[in-house]
Amino acid sequence: MIKASMSSGKVTLFHQDPRSGVTYRVPALLYIPTDTLLAFAEKRSSARDEDAEYLVLRRGRKTGTSVEWGPSEYLTSAELPGHRTMSPCPVYERKSQTVFLFFICVRKHVTEQWQIWTGQNAARLCYVWSGDAGQTWSSLTDLTEQVIGEDLKDWATFAVGPGHGVQLSSGRLVIPAYTYHITARCCRLPLPCWTLPRALVFYSDDGGQRWHKGELIKGMKTGECQVAEVACQACDPVLYCNARTPRQCRAAALSTDQGLTFESPSSCEQLCEPPDGCQGSVVSFTPTAGLLEADGVEEPDAPAYEMTCLLNDENAPSTIRRSTMSWLLYSHPMDKCKRVDLGIYLNRSPLNEAKWEHPWLLYKGPCSYSDLAVLQEAPAPLLFGCLFECGVNYACEEIAFQLFCFEDLQKDRVSHRSLENQPKTKLKCN
């Protein structure tokens, strides 16, 4: 048993074996309202993607502001013969109290780059489910033909998440995903330079019985992504997507139809990417009444840019009273040149990409993929958890978990050029 508390800092859940080379990568974290946490990762024989083997799990029990973690378990049912299991993406269905764990199964020894160059997909879209908070798991279901179908011929490869999915206020389950979309061929062969990463979501409206796919996000190269629902007072909730790009900064896009389609993404200049990008995590949460009051949400004479949402509809007003009832947290390495120094960013106005605040440094040193979870929100004191890759010399040395509260975000924030001086790009909401 390992116990994490507010005062303990990070605790290691999965650790690389320097002798055998066994490495754990790609964390996914899910909080279940029964005060249970599920921490997933890939077990690999080395740090390389093609050496992934299967998924592992540790179950945590939250008591107050501490979490006690059980032993590591091998998810035996989350496997296809001749394939490696990758990219865990769990989501919790509230009504049936069911955990759906999505992942991809990729033919062994086939690299992502080979799939992109040849256009020959080797990935399968799969899931298992649990009705007892991760104690037991169902057999594997392969959704590839049912959900992707004929479009698979234009997908060189694809993956889900990685990291958590979400259930929207409408009940819809949403799994973030991305594909390498073949947009041009010559003599029936794909042109790799025209095989582009595109984010999308898979979704279910019947509690996970049937699954469908949304449209690809076009207009910018968007890869690994996560989504969060943003609740607004003056309009329906919107689905916010934050995606990895190769452009030195993140991309963000909004959907007003719960993920069926997304508007053209915008560049998030405040959220930097290292060369070739890196996965990041985003969650929405309900701030306490005290935080909302301190933020001036109820003040009628607040500045217009704090209270507006741009619309695409020509007949709609260009500004509306819009107090978002959700705030966003985002985790990602903070350095523009390499994967180091994991930061936690806060946005109190999620529809305004210029409103990301200076990050709080969660971990100093090599780091990479991460996943956030909201453990408590209003009216209770806010409490969050982060599962992340880190190390002393290399980011793949361990996967650690750390608790933090909202007050942590307000102290020891990294000092750099004021985000307020950046161009104020607003995401559109229609």
CA 204 to chain centre: 18
Please give the single-letter amino acid code of residue 337. C
Residues sharing a CB contact under 8 Å with residue 399, sequence separation 6 or more, in sequence order: 12, 13, 14, 15, 24, 25, 27, 39, 41, 387, 388, 389, 390
Which residue among the candidates 369, 377, 397, 398 is catalytic per the annotation?
369
Tokens of residue 342, six digits: 């994991």
> Which candidate, 166, 216, 226, 176, places its Cα nearest to that of 195?
216
Considering the candidates 35, 49, 68, 215, report the single residue annotated as catalytic.
49
17 labelled catalytic: no
CA distance 11 to 16: 14
Cα–Cα distance measured from residue 248 to residue 267, given in angstroms and rounded to the nearest whole number: 9
398 membership: H or E segment, kind and range: strand 398-405
Contact 161, 102 (CB under 8 A): yes
100 within 8 A of 129, measured Cβ to Cβ: yes
Please tell me the number of Cα atoms within 13 Å of 234 on its side-chain side: 17
**Burial group, residue 203, by CB count within 10 angstroms (0-12, 13-18, 19+):** buried
Residue with tokens 């009051």: 293
Residue with tokens 């509230």: 94
Of 229, 353, 389, 397, the catalytic one is: 389
DSSP structure class, residue 339: S
How many angstroms separate the CA atoms of 242 and 96, rounded? 28
49 in active site? yes
92 labelled catalytic: no
Active site residues: 49, 369, 389
